[in-house]
Every structure is written in C-alpha cells, then in structure tokens.
Amino acid sequence: MNIQVLDGQQCPAIVRLTSNHPDQIKRVMDAGASGIMVPMVKSAQDARAAVSAVYYPPEGTRGVGLARAQGYGASFQAYRQWLRDNAVVIVMIEHIQAIENIDAILSTAGVDAYIIGPYDLSGSMGRPGELDHPDVQAAIQTVLKAGIQHRKAGGVHVVEPDPALLQQRIKQGFIFLGYSLDIRMLDSLCRTHLSMIKTAS
C-alpha cells in the first residue's frame, strides 16, 4: 500500500478493497487509510457490515489494534476521535440487486458516498459491456436520483477516455468520478494515431 506516500502529500487515502471482509477493512484502516471503497454492496446489510468494520465499539465491531494509524499505541484516543470525525465509507453499486435496494443502502448510517461500477452492473443485468443500453442507463439514473434524495456524494466510473462523456456525467450531478483506465487510454491513443497515419498515407 502507498498510504504513507499519500499522507506525505496530505492526500487522503481511500483504499479500494477486494471484498467486504472485516479483516481486510481492519488491515487497511490500521495501516492509516482515511476510508474504504467497498465492492459489490448489494443490500443494507452489506453496507452496515462495512461501516461496522471501520468503527470501534460501541459504534462498530472493529478489533482494537496498535498499528500505524494509532501511532503504534501512542495516540490511540486521538485516532479514535479522528475516526469518528473523518473516516469515509464509499459503497460500490455494481449489481442489479443494489439498484433494487438502493434507498436502503444509501440511508444506512455511516455510508458517506457511492460509486457506480458500470461494467459489473451491466453484467448483472445480463448485458455485459452494453453500457449504453437503455436499461443500464436507467439503472444509473435510479442511483443518481437516490443519491440526491439521500444527500450522498455520487460517483461513477467513466470507463472510456471520453472528455465529453466525463463532462456529461458532471452535469448530471456526479461529483466523484473515476476516469478511464491506463490501458484504455493507451489503446485509445494508439488507435487514434494509427488512424491518422493511415489517413495521411
């Protein structure tokens, strides 16, 4: 993890987990993460489990450890207060079941924001990769409206390196955006330049 590097730049580290497991959540929070991004949250129960794993009793169920986040024991009480005031829990909405339970998920105490994973969402709807399909777009709009209603910061992954689509998502009300992937950017750039070369020859 590069949490220490980010701390040196005064940039909060939000760690994208591989599962909604309390042991993993404890490990990254003890390492000094400012928050977590939890995959495949499909229900309020999933959301509550993630929140609970971030906080110590009585607010949650996180085991007490003395690691980097707690100053190796020298600043545990200060960290405990920091946790209450600053910890961030972001749920990843990437399954049709999450769309069906979106109000319950976003009304869960301790959930601060959400981000939509469009590829997994489309796959769970039986339309893998069909991101422009009306059903997939309708599901995204359902989440956006619920986020506004529950006053949760909304995010979405804009997979293709398309500045126009990025601007469109911002105008729709998304404020937490993942923009493309390095491999998609490289592929898009190479294809554009190859097309230019072919046109010029």
Q: CATH code at 97?
A: 3.20.20.60
User: Global pTM?
Assistant: 0.90
| pLDDT at 9 exceeding the cut of 90 | no
Q: Which residues of 92-130 are buried (b: 16+ CB within 10 A; e: fewer)?
A: bbbbbebbebbeebbebebbebbbbbbebbbbbbeeeeb
pLDDT band at 71 (very low <50, low <70, confident <90, very high): very high
Residue 1 has a pLDDT of 54
Number of domains observed in the structure of the chain: 1
Residue 48 has a pLDDT of 98
Q: What is the pLDDT of residues 116-156, one digit of tens each?
A: 999 999 999 999 999 999 999 999 999 999 999 999 999 99
The parent domain of residue 130 ranges over 3-200
Average pLDDT, the chain: 94
